[in-house]
Amino acid sequence: MRESVVEMVINGEPVRALVDVRRTLADFVRDDCRLTGTHLGCEHGVCGACTVLLDGSAVRSCLLFAVQAQGSEVVTVEGLTPVDGLSPVQEALRQEHGLQCGFCTPGFVVSITQYLRDHPDPDDAEILEAVTGNVCRCTGYQGIRRSVGVAAAMIRGVES
């Protein structure tokens, strides 16, 4: 087993740790940093449950080694949650019943947050395309799709 020191900023906090060079970013975030909002579903990069922001881009943390995040800024779902309530994306998912069991929800929150930062006023076709990268086995996606539009309007300060 080969180990390496890795340094990064996770949710605004500097982190320095000795990790096995084969340890995934998902396992490092969940097990070493105790940020369990990042879920592991397929561990093949397909389901999106492990999505985090790496230097501002949504990535599948199960497909990256922790050492690949050396010197980077990582934001998990915990880092997107304000201390005084819910983010617009989280509130929209709650309001529009865009979640059921909740297993996929953190990945959706991270993915949608990044998507709306880059596409603040998406139409229905763009929303459909945006959510196809995350798998939900419970909701049928209708509430999730509505949530994206509601969150976009909230972020823009427009009533939906």
Count of structural domains, the chain: 2
Q: What is the pLDDT of residue 29?
A: 98
Ordered mean pLDDT values, 10 residues apiece, the chain (160 residues): 95 97 98 96 93 97 98 98 94 94 94 96 95 90 94 85
9 and 63 part of one domain = yes
Who's near 87: CB < 8 A, 6+ residues apart?
A: 80, 81, 109, 113
Alpha helices (H) along 96-141: 105-118, 124-131
Q: What contacts 66, CB < 8 A, 6 or more positions away?
A: 6, 17, 19, 23, 24, 25, 27, 28, 32
The DSSP secondary-structure symbol of 41 reads: S
Please give the pLDDT value at position 91. Answer: 96
Q: Which of 56, 79, 102 is the last residue of a domain?
A: 79
Give me the pLDDT at residue 159, please.
64
pLDDT at site 146: 95
d(CA 16, CA 115): 29
Domain containing residue 116: CATH number? 1.10.150.120
Pair of tokens at residue 93? 């998912």
| 106 and 141 belong to one structural domain | yes
Same domain, 61 and 103: no
14 and 72 share one domain: yes
74 and 93 share a domain? no
- Please check whether residues 64 and 104 belong to one and the same domain: no
The whole domain housing 20 covers: 3-79
Q: How far is residue 126 from each of residues 82, 115, 121, 129, 157, measured CA to CA in Å?
A: 27, 10, 9, 5, 20
157 sits in the region (left: phi over 0; alpha: psi -120 to 50; else beta) called left
User: In whole angstroms, what is the distance from residue 79 CA to residue 82 CA?
Assistant: 8
* Co-location of 96 and 66 in the same domain: no
User: Do both 125 and 62 map to the same domain?
Assistant: no
Q: Which of 79, 101, 120 is the last residue of a domain?
A: 79
| Residues 31 and 12 occupy one common structural domain | yes
At which of 21, 52, 79 does a domain end?
A: 79
Indicate the length of the chain as a whole number: 160
